[in-house]
Structure 1
Amino acid sequence: MLLNYLKITFAVLKRHPFFTFVSLFGICFTMTVLIVVTAFVDDLASSGYPQPERDRNLYVNRVKLSSDQSQMMSNASLYLIRHYLDQLKTPDKIGFSGLMNTADTYLDDRKVRLYYKYSDANFWDVTRFKVLEGRLYTNEDLRRNEKVIVITNSARDELFGKNQSAVGKTIDLLNNTFRVIGVIQECSIVHFLLYGEVYIPYTFAHINPTDQNLMGPFTVILRAPSAEKVPAMHRELQDMVGRMPVPKDMKTLTIRADGYFETITRIQNSGSESTLQTFYLILATVALSFMLLPAVNLVNLNISRMMERASEIGIRKAFGASSGTLVWQFVTENVILTILGGILAILVSSGILALINGQGWIPGSDLAVNWRIVLYAFGLILFFGLLSGVYPAWRMSRLQIASALKGGE
């Protein structure tokens, strides 16, 4: 019985190539967009290189001072880190880095623009960058004010030639001549809290050591001994904030310490207090709406196609086909179209992600198809495929034989 349905279905799909193309395109396009977008989100949200134990971390990225008339918001200052955050007992390590910026260097009459980031030596402990050559700078290097830097493999290839040794060579950057002491494996630029091509000791960031402002350019990473200790670390931080003196003319002091993905969503939302759950709700709503629109269009397309097949329906009913048999046939056609469209979408998505990785359009990217997301997307596409086929099929199966033979009039 099933084999007969499949034979009839493929015959119908071959006989109506335009409808088949439009249906496959709609399904493939929708699912491809979902797979590619979720690959970006998954790469951003999941624990992996260069922080495989991200669930142990809190990120201090927002310091806010408010009064009745105004508010100020920025990242953390060196004063806040050294005089307050370093006093926390729960974290087993505290590291920080600056904002990602760009600067130009000249080598062999070539201008090369590089992403650079200031950091302290503990930054290498709260991350797990893979050292390909040389070493990372240490607190002793910073104490001695050594002009040393760490670069990524992509910066090394750009500056000195692919896979050429870079340790011991110099780079003129930001009015200083720095010596390369290490090369690390680049991470994806979507991890912009961590990403850089050149990492420079924060001691060259021209920060006034006497400045007691709480706001500055740094993102601080608090690492707990284990994931179970993160809530206690958060409570200790908030208790400390409650005891901190509020600057003159300000009423309240707020210091945000969130998980990685929640920190990212707040940054993208300009520091809004929106929760991570709100972000997921918006993302799910957009995805469902994106899939619902093609489904509605396919309902209309299916109705038009089935009106063209009214005579066929009338003949099959005249030879004893029941309404249930006809509905099952039409639904089978939609299911097969959905499966074919889904397989095509997986192939197209894999090709797009491989192209993005291979061409380096997103520096350091290693995007991959998330098969868990594929299963969810496939289930939703199948649901909407059934939704777009059941109603038209039921409507046409209710036609009287005489009406069907006249073309459904």
Structure 2
Amino acid sequence: MIKNYFKTAWRNLLKNKMHSFINIAGLSVGMAVAMLIGLWIWDELTYNTSFKNYDRVAQVMQNVKNNGEIQTWEDTPYPLADELRKNYSNDFKYIVLNAGGFGNHILAADDKKLYVLGSYFEPQITELLSLKMVKGSRNGLQDPTSILISQKTAKSYFDNADPINKVIKLDNRINVKVAGVYEDMPANSRFANMGFMAPWKLYFNTSSWISTAEDPWRPNAFSLYVQLADNADMDKVSLKIRDVKLRKVNAELAKKKPALFLQAMPKWHLYSEFKNGINIGGRIQYVYLFGIIGVFVLLLACINFMNLSTARSEKRAKEVGIRKAIGSLKSQLVYQFFVESFLCVFIAFVLSVMLLQLSIPFFNEVADKQVHVLWSNPVFWLLSIGFSLITGLIAGSYPAFYLSSFQPVKVLKGAFRMGSMAGLPRKVLVVIQFTVSVTLIIGTIVVFRQIQYAKNRPIGYNANSLLAVSTVTPDIHNHFEVVNNQLLNSGAITAMAESDSWPTYYGSTSSGFEWPGKDPNMSVDFPTNDVSYDYGKTIGWTIKQGRDFSKAFATDSTALVVNETAVKFMNLKDPVGQVITWDGHKCTIIGVVKDMVVQSPYGQIRPAIYDLTTSLNYVILLKLNPKMSAADAVSKIEAVFKQYNPAQPFAGTFIDEEYDRKFGNEQRIGKLASFFAGLAIFISCLGLFGMASFMVEQRVKEVGIRKVVGASVFSLWRLLSLDFAGLVVIALVIATPLAYYFMHNWLQSFEYRSAINWWIFIITGLGALLITMLTVSFQSVKAALANPVKSLKTE
């Protein structure tokens, strides 16, 4: 019996090739999209889960009150680690300091010098992360002159040779020996691409600013990771350590009311955003968003199947009547139609897996991921098979129960007619399809407009042809004037300056500011930037009041330049010449610059302070000469840098490109949304095409008669197409408020945001109507142009 079901199902597929193609193509695309989204969501949800005790690991963070709001900081003072060890040792298994996050460092071995991502950690980091060692021991960081490197780093420097005890020079100043090689950490983890780990003691011993700090509880420049004791509760321990820092800081810093808390590792990636001290989510919103999109895209494919199957019910009505007349039970007919559905789904599943495998490279590039099909993972197969069974049930349920309910007497007597409401479910499903598709299109347009709106935001300086070079040695600083003159004479640059950070980031902040009229109880935190002469000229900032730093004024050693927001925040009526106090030192404001977008292009401008320094800064900024090609200018700069800083590989970054990278997350979301919206439209149009072909087939005699009595091609096209246009208009009416509601809420997460203009809905509506008419018109015009003799000769 089962064999018969499959035979009949296969024959029906071959008999109705167009119908079968549309069904299988729509389902396969829908399932491939759903599986792609599933892999993306899996990658997001399994972020950091490769670490053995990830659910017991946390980062110590703090909420502090600054500038009238609560800010959330990831960094903490370094004495906090010892304080937790001393008084809370029963609550923690491991407590690990990290020196200020991860960055690129120069590793040199023999004649190889490369930039490698790494950082300094206390020795127990290897236990906290359960590092898998390929060579050497996890205890390698106990020795402050040792280093642990990843497999990839070991391969880069030593190929297949044993790296243990080999000497590497770190940042061209410290010789360390390789004590171990650990397995490369997964791409979907915070520690991805971590090429080396050096001992915290080494950083402490070679960084004099730490040991000479007047108040070690003041600099918040270190990350602190912990693993809870086996019997400890995350929330209880978080509450217990809340006031540890508050009890240690001085009276001035106590005004900030620092409150420590533990951010568990499972939340680092998906729940990383805070507003006024409260976690407001983060990437988890995109997990929900794409999960919903995946369900809807699959639903669109199922709708196509149900629509086309029920639409062709009249053609199979006699088959059902005959089967029932010769003794077929309703259950047998239900089984038959379900077998047809499952056969379609099985073929679609095989095709979807092929599409999935082919599209993954493109998807990874767009999504900035490294997902792959989980061939060996039983969960993947269980989900896929279960997914296919559910799809087959959903897609086959309506036609199975609908067709099997026909009465044989009425069908075989010719008395069976589709009721006036028979087409209503199909129309409802078409409306649902286009409601989903139109909502996705509107959402995609809003996302891209928000990106473009922020990109067009005046940034307050000239990022074009501005090159940044980060240095790890003092060589360029020590030869600054010589390098500057040599590059100016070569015509490669028009200006050069030093800074402690790139224009796209704040290097540090400070709270030690006092000014006339300041509330003594208010704690502040202003971004500060140490800059050299010609910094303003190099980046092209705009002086609104006063003047820039100048070598002509010896007093500029105690001068400050502030931005417009700082002036407003401090409520300074005539800022130029005002004396403010910074950590007890009197400083004079000599200039006010136009606000510059430094951190998030979507965020508010923060009050910023710029001070002049002749001390060592590790960022060199160069303004390229517009009269020379960028390639030639960079080549000349590289040659000069290699001459005066031979120990460091040259690596420059254009600031405009770095600024564009700030839009990376939204751009990826926009590209993925547009990709899925396009596929949703494709699936919907497949269904429309099938429905139009069926409709034309059903009305072929009517069209023939109308042509004989003089109907024009245009009037026939209008007759056959207007019904579908009406359905799309209804979908637009439903989709418009839905899209507005969701996208308006999404935009609220940005301080600097675009408006949702009315023309977005008009253009989307016209586009949807145009696509619909083009899809339907092919069949409509084909029917209108057909010879009426062929359709009427049997009458």
TM-score normalised according to structure 1 size: 0.77
Q: Secondary structure at the match of 1:292?
A: helix
Residue 22 of structure 2 corresponds to 19
In structure 2, give the amino acid aligned to 1:5.
Y
Change (3 A) 1:12 1:108: farther
The percent identity for this pair of structures is 15
Any idea what the Cα deviations from partners look like across 1:153-196, whole Å, max 9, x if unmatched? 111111221x3211233334423243323211221132214761
Quick one: distance in 1 between partners of 2:374 and 2:339?
34
In the other structure, the counterpart of 2:555 is none
Q: Distance in 1 between matches of 2:372 and 2:330?
A: 53
Q: Whole-Å Cα distance in 2 between the matches of residues 352 and 362 of structure 1? A: 13
- 1:264 pairs with 2:269: yes
Which amino acid in 1 is paired with 2:114? V
Assess, with a 3 A threshold, how the Cα gap between structure 1 residues 281 and 262 changes in structure 2: closer, same or farther: same
* Structure 1 residue 343, shift from structure 2 partner: 5.6
What are structure 1's unaligned runs of at least 5 residues?
none
Report the alpha carbon displacement of residue 33 of structure 1 after superposing the two structures with TM: 1.0
> In the aligned structure 2, how far is the partner of 1:368 from the partner of 1:82?
43
Q: Deviations over 1:309-347 (max 9, x none)?
A: 632332332442676654443333223333454466567
Residue 182 of structure 1 is aligned with which of 177, 180, 183? 180
Which one of 27, 41, 46 corresponds to residue 44 of structure 2? 41
Query: In structure 2, what is the Cα distance between the partners aligned to 1:96 and 1:194?
Result: 18
Alignment map for 1:267-286 (pairs within 5 Å): 267=272, 269=273, 273-274=278-279, 283=287, 286=290
Of 153, 164, 167, the match for 1:167: 164
Summarize the alignment of residues 299-314 of structure 1 with structure 2, pairs less than 5 Å apart: 299-308=303-312, 310-314=314-318
* Structure 1 CA distance for aligned equivalents of residues 44 and 203 of structure 2: 34
Which of 250, 253, 265 is the aligned partner of 2:258? 253
Q: Cα distance, 1:201 vs. partner?
A: 2.1
CA distance in 2, matches of 1:356, 1:184: 30
Equivalent in the alignment of 1:237: 241
Aligned to 2:128: 126
1:35–1:349 contact (8 Å) kept in structure 2 = no
For 2:261 and 2:380, the matched residues in 1 are separated by 31
Q: How far apart in 1 are the matches of 2:181 and 2:312?
A: 66
CA contact (8 A) 1:167 1:182 kept: yes
Letter in 1 for 2:119: K
Hey, what's the Cα distance between the residues in 1 that align with 2:230 and 2:336? 56
Mapped partners of 1:101, 1:63: distance in 2: 22
Matched, 1:287 2:321: no
Q: Shift of residue 351 of structure 1? A: 8.9
220, 230, 247: which one pairs with 2:224? 220
- Would the alpha carbon gap of residues 166 and 329 (structure 1) be closer, same or farther in structure 2, given more than 3 Å must change? same
Tell me which moved more, 29-38 or 396-405: 396-405
1:204-238, Cα deviation, whole Å (9 max, x unpaired): 27452325355634332222331555555334323
- 1:275-300, Cα deviation, whole Å (9 max, x unpaired): 78x97787356424412233234323
Aligned to 2:320: 316
Question: 1:93 matched to which residue of 2?
Answer: 94
Given that 1:262 and 1:275 are in contact with CA atoms closer than 8 Å, whether structure 2 keeps it comes out as no
Q: Distance in 2 between matches of 1:156 and 1:182?
A: 10
The 1:366–1:345 alpha-carbon spacing in structure 2 relative to 1, beyond 3 Å, is closer
Q: Do the aligned partners of 2:106 and 2:116 also contact (CA within 8 Å) in 1? A: yes
The answer as to whether partners of 2:121 and 2:198 remain within 8 angstroms in 1 is yes
Q: CA deviation at 1:13?
A: 3.0
Contact preservation (8 Å) 2:32, 2:352: yes
Counterpart-to-counterpart distance in 2, 1:266 and 1:151: 30
> What are the Cα deviations for residues 30-52 of structure 1, in whole angstroms up to 9, with x where unaligned?
34314422442354253x4xx32
Q: Relative contact order, CA 8 A, sep 6+: which one is greater?
A: 1
Alpha-carbon deviations, 1:349-401, whole Å to 9, x = none?
689889999xxx97999977643355345434533443333234445556663
Deviations 1:223-255 (A, max 9, x none): 233155555533432364675657537443232
**2:309·2:399 contact (CA, 8 Å) conserved in 1?**
no
Contact 1:149 / 1:182 at 8 angstroms: preserved in 2? yes
Q: List per-residue Cα deviations over 1:99-123 (Å, max 9, x = no partner).
A: 2222345667666332112211121
- SS state at 2:74 partner: strand
Q: TM-score, normalised by structure 2?
A: 0.43
The 3 A distance-change label for structure 1 pair 375 and 344 is farther
Contact 1:39 1:370 in 2 (8 A): no
Alignment-mate amino acid for residue 103 of structure 2: N
- 1:115 equivalent to 2:112? Answer no
Paired residue type of 1:264? H
CA contact (8 A) 2:41 2:287 kept: no
SS at match of 1:266: coil
2:156 corresponding residue in structure 1: 158
